């Protein structure tokens, strides 16, 4: 797969049982058990709002009310699939439509000083000196000749943009998008107390086994890791699209089989996230024992991969858009997820992959 999804089982958001009123903190009262309260409680009829005539503010239809969200700001109804970007799971807690939410439907890309960019991406000061165009050009001459690369099915390292201004723009677009979603940048899998420990991520638990990354591909991976630690990222920009939300655009041609990025975020058990709102969760491990299955959850930390959109699996046009494949590999016994170019990708193209690579759980019918 890709972003993990389960059928929403929680109480549909469109029929709130009550709305909580906020007021000044009250003095603590003596504790009474619910039984005591019920003994003296009088029966009252709670007036309920009538949602039977609710129609979608976008398409005007009142059908499929089980897929209708009710905005906590303006009280209007919206079909999850009529919203842009499409909402695939019933949100947990309050939900606001684009008009009511923050009043910023189109997020802006902020300008950052070089110091801020270095802090945000945790780039070493000494490393920034290595990214002069001269060094990059010299490095590239030492790579294998083009003919060999064409025949090979091996992973190729991405080629970062040399132009400093364009590189800054790419980093600013990613930093702005992450900050807007209140996410920290992290280019590796992270493990935290209360979630799955690192020891849970073992490829030997995968039910049908997992392909092992070759030594040569591991060297490519290490090369890309070293580049990213120096602040040399793949030539990608995060842009905001009215229909698709955030999406990732290619800033320079990327060859077929190029390693684009690793899918990163906090590792957690699937069982812990059954009712989670995050629409960017990625399958990491499908164990024979489902209790051991793992997800990558970029809800607090993540990188550019959580902004890459999916193809519509149900149309020919959708399938034609795919230019990335999502592959899971065992690297030194640990499961990892990588995004690799599945064909040559031109400058200006947007990146897309199939969200339903492993399980057919993600509803993409309404994807553009
Ligand atoms: C992994 S996130 C991708 C980034 C997302 N667009 C954003 O703004 O954060 C997955 C979500 O993006 C949206 N999305 C992804 N692909 C899409 C597509 N082809 N058309 C419309 N929305 C899409 C859906 O809302 C989906 O739940
Ligand atoms: Zn609608
Ligand atoms: Zn609203």
290 C-alpha vs ligand 1 centroid, how far in Å? 27
The β-bridge partners of 341 are 324
How far is Cα 237 from Cα 171, in angstroms, rounded to an integer? 8
How far is Cα 44 from Cα 214, in angstroms, rounded to an integer? 69
Q: What is the pTM of this model?
A: 0.79
Higher per-residue pLDDT: 262 or 367: 262
Task: Return the exposure string of 87-100: e unless at least 16 CB atoms fall within 10 Å of the residue's CB, then b.
Answer: bbbbbeeebebbee
Ligand 1 atom, smallest distance to 318 CA = 19
How far is Cα 79 from Cα 312, in angstroms, rounded to an integer? 18
Largest CA distance in the chain: 86
pLDDT at 166 over 90: yes
If one residue of 242, 309, 367 were mutated to test the ligand 1 pocket, choosing by the most ligand atoms within 8 A of its CB, it would be: 309
How far is Cα 267 from Cα 296, in angstroms, rounded to an integer? 5
Which residues, 6+ apart, have CB-to-CB distance to 178 below 8 Å?
Answer: 184, 185, 302
If one residue of 87, 240, 279 were mutated to test the ligand 1 pocket, choosing by the most ligand atoms within 8 A of its CB, it would be: 279
Q: In the structure encoding, which two tokens stand for residue 357, read together?
A: 């690579």
How far is Cα 67 from Cα 366, in angstroms, rounded to an integer? 13
Is the Cβ atom of 307 under 6 angstroms away from ligand 1? Answer: yes
Q: What pLDDT, on the 0 to 100 scale, is given for residue 49?
A: 59
57 C-alpha vs ligand 3 centroid, how far in Å? 10
Ligand 1 atom, smallest distance to 3 CA = 1
Angle at 194 between CA 193 and CA 197, to 5 degrees: 60
Is the Cβ atom of 178 under 6 angstroms away from ligand 1? Answer: no
300 C-alpha vs ligand 3 centroid, how far in Å? 26
If one residue of 4, 79, 85 were mutated to test the ligand 1 pocket, choosing by the most ligand atoms within 8 A of its CB, it would be: 85
Higher per-residue pLDDT: 26 or 350: 350
pLDDT at 13 over 90: no
Q: Which ligand is nearest to the CA of 99?
A: 3
Is the Cβ atom of 280 under 6 angstroms away from ligand 1? Answer: yes
Which residues, 6+ apart, have CB-to-CB distance to 82 below 8 Å?
Answer: 56, 58, 59
**Atom 12 of ligand 1: nearest residue by CA position:** 309
83 C-alpha vs ligand 2 centroid, how far in Å? 8
Find the mean pLDDT for residues 203-210. 94
Alpha-carbon dihedral 140, 142, 146, 152, rounded to 10 degrees: -110
pLDDT at 5 over 70: no
Is the Cβ atom of 321 under 6 angstroms away from ligand 1? Answer: no
Which residues, 6+ apart, have CB-to-CB distance to 204 below 8 Å?
Answer: 333
Q: What pLDDT, on the 0 to 100 scale, is given for residue 17?
A: 26
362 C-alpha vs ligand 3 centroid, how far in Å? 26
How far is Cα 364 from Cα 368, in angstroms, rounded to an integer? 9
Rg from Cα positions in the chain: 24
* Digit-coded pLDDT (tens) for 112-146: 998 899 999 998 776 654 444 444 444 444 444 44
Is the Cβ atom of 107 under 6 angstroms away from ligand 1? Answer: no
Q: Which contacts of 219-225 are long-range, i.e. CB under 8 A and separated by 24 or more positions?
A: 220/154, 220/155, 220/156, 220/157, 220/259, 221/155, 221/259, 221/331, 221/338, 223/157, 224/157, 224/158, 224/259, 225/187
Confidence of residue 205 (pLDDT cuts 50, 70, 90): very high
């Amino acid at each position: 797969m890709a972003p993990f999804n389960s059928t929403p089982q929680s109480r549909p958001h469109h029929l709130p049982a009550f709305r909580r009123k906020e007021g000044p903190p009250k003095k603590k009262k003596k504790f009474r058990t619910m039984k005591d309260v019920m003994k003296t409680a009088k029966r009252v009829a709670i007036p309920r709002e009538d949602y039977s005539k609710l129609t979608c503010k976008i398409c005007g239809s009142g059908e499929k009310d089980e897929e209708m969200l009710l905005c906590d700001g303006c009280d209007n109804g919206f079909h999850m699939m009529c919203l842009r970007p499409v909402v695939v799971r019933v949100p947990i807690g309050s939900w606001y439509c684009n008009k009511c939410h923050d009043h910023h439907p189109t997020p802006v890309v902020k300008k950052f000083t070089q110091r801020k960019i270095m802090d945000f991406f945790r780039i070493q000061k000494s490393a920034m000196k290595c990214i002069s165009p001269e060094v990059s050009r010299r490095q590239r001459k030492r790579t294998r000749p083009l003919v060999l690369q064409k025949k090979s099915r091996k992973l190729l390292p991405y080629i970062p943009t040399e132009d400093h201004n364009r590189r800054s723009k790419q980093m600013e677009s990613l930093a702005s998008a992450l900050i807007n979603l209140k996410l920290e940048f992290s280019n590796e899998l992270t493990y935290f107390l209360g979630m799955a420990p690192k020891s849970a991520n073992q490829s030997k638990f995968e039910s049908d086994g997992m392909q092992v990354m070759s030594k040569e591909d591991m060297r490519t991976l290490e090369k890309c890791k070293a580049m990213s630690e120096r602040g040399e990222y793949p030539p990608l920009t995060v842009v905001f699209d009215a229909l698709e939300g955030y999406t990732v655009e290619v800033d320079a041609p990327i060859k077929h089989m190029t390693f684009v990025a690793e899918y990163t975020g906090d590792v957690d058990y699937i069982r812990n996230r059954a009712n989670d709102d995050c629409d960017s969760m990625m399958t990491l491990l499908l164990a024979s024992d489902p209790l051991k299955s793992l997800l990558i959850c970029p809800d607090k930390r993540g990188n550019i991969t959580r902004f890459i959109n999916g193809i519509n699996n149900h149309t020919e046009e959708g399938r034609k858009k795919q230019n990335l494949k999502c592959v899971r590999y065992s690297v030194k016994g640990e499961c990892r997820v990588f995004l690799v170019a599945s064909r040559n990708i031109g400058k200006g193209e947007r990146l897309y992959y199939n969200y339903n690579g492993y399980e057919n759980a993600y509803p993409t019918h309404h994807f553009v």
